[in-house]
Amino acid sequence: MSADSAKRSATPTLLMIGLLVVGLIMYMVILGWRGFQLIASGTAAGIGVGIGVLILPVLGAWMIYSTLAAGLWHQRLVAAAQEVGRDLDVSELPRRASGRIEREAADELFEQVRTEWEADPDDWVNTYRIARAYDYAGDRTRARQMMKTAVAQYRAVSGT
C-alpha cells in the first residue's frame, strides 16, 4: 500500500474519531451542566446526585485521553517497526471469511514470535511483535499488557 492510499484510507477513520470525540465532549458538557443544576437545587438528594453526575464527565475525559494517547503510541510503534523492517507480516496467513487469521496459523505465528521475544524480552520490537501475536491469537488482555510494555520500552530507548 502506498503512502498516499494509506493516508486516504485513514482519513474516514480519523474523521469518525473526531466526530465521536466532539459528540462525547458535547455530551459531557451537557452532563456537567445538569450536575451543576442538581447541586443548585439545594436539596440533599440533588446535591448528592449532582456530585455523582459531575464525576462522569471527568471519567469520560480521562477515558478519551487515555484511549487516544494509547492509539497514537501504537501508531508510532507500527511506523518505527516498519522503519527497521521488523513489523509483523501476516499478509500470507490463511484467513477466515470474517477476515480474521485462521486459529492454527495464528497459534503458529505466536509460537514463532514468542521464541523471538524470549530470546530478548527487553527489545521493544520483540515486545511489540508479541503483543500483535497475542492479538491475532485472540488473547486481547495479554495483547494490551504487552503493548503497554512495548510502548514503555520504546519510550525508554527513544527518550520520548
pLDDT digits (tens, 9 = 90+) for 67-98: 999 999 999 999 999 999 998 888 889 999 98
Positive or negative torsion for Cα 31, 33, 39, 45: negative
CA dihedral 51, 53, 55, 58 (to 10 degrees): -130
Beta bridge pairs of residue 95: 101
- Residue 60: inside a domain, yes or no? yes
- State residue 3's pLDDT score: 46
Are 78 and 114 in the same domain? no
The alpha helices in the chain, defined as continuous H runs, are 3-40, 44-83, 103-119, 124-136, 140-158
Please give the pLDDT value at position 125.
95
Question: Are residues 75 and 112 both part of a single domain?
Answer: no
Can you list the pairs that 53-59 forms with residues at least 24 positions away whose Cβ atoms lie under 8 Å? 56/28, 56/31, 57/28, 57/29, 57/31, 57/32
Residues 17 and 49 placed together within one structural domain of the fold: yes
Cβ 88 vs Cβ 133: under 8 Å: yes
When pLDDT is cut at 50, 70 and 90, the band that residue 10 belongs to is low
Range of the domain at 24: 3-83
Report the Cα–Cα distance between both ends of the chain, in Å, rounded: 28
Residue 92 lies in a domain: no
Q: Which residues pair with 101 in a beta bridge?
A: 95
In a domain, 91, yes or no: no
Cα-based distances in Å from 120 to 37, 57, 150: 56, 42, 12
Give a yes or no: residue 96 inside a domain: no
Q: Has residue 95 been placed in a domain?
A: no
Is 70 found in the same domain as 7? yes
What's the maximum distance between 2 C-alpha atoms anywhere in the chain?
65
What mean pLDDT is reported for the chain? 90
User: In the chain, what percentage of residues exceed pLDDT 90?
Assistant: 79
The answer to whether 25 and 57 have CB atoms below 8 angstroms apart is: no
Q: Does the pLDDT at position 13 exceed 90?
A: no
Instruction: Clarify whether residues 33 and 74 are in a common domain.
Output: yes
The total domain count for the chain is 2
Q: Does residue 97 fall inside a structural domain?
A: no
Q: pLDDT tens, 23-73? A: 999 999 999 999 999 999 999 999 999 999 999 999 999 999 999 999 999
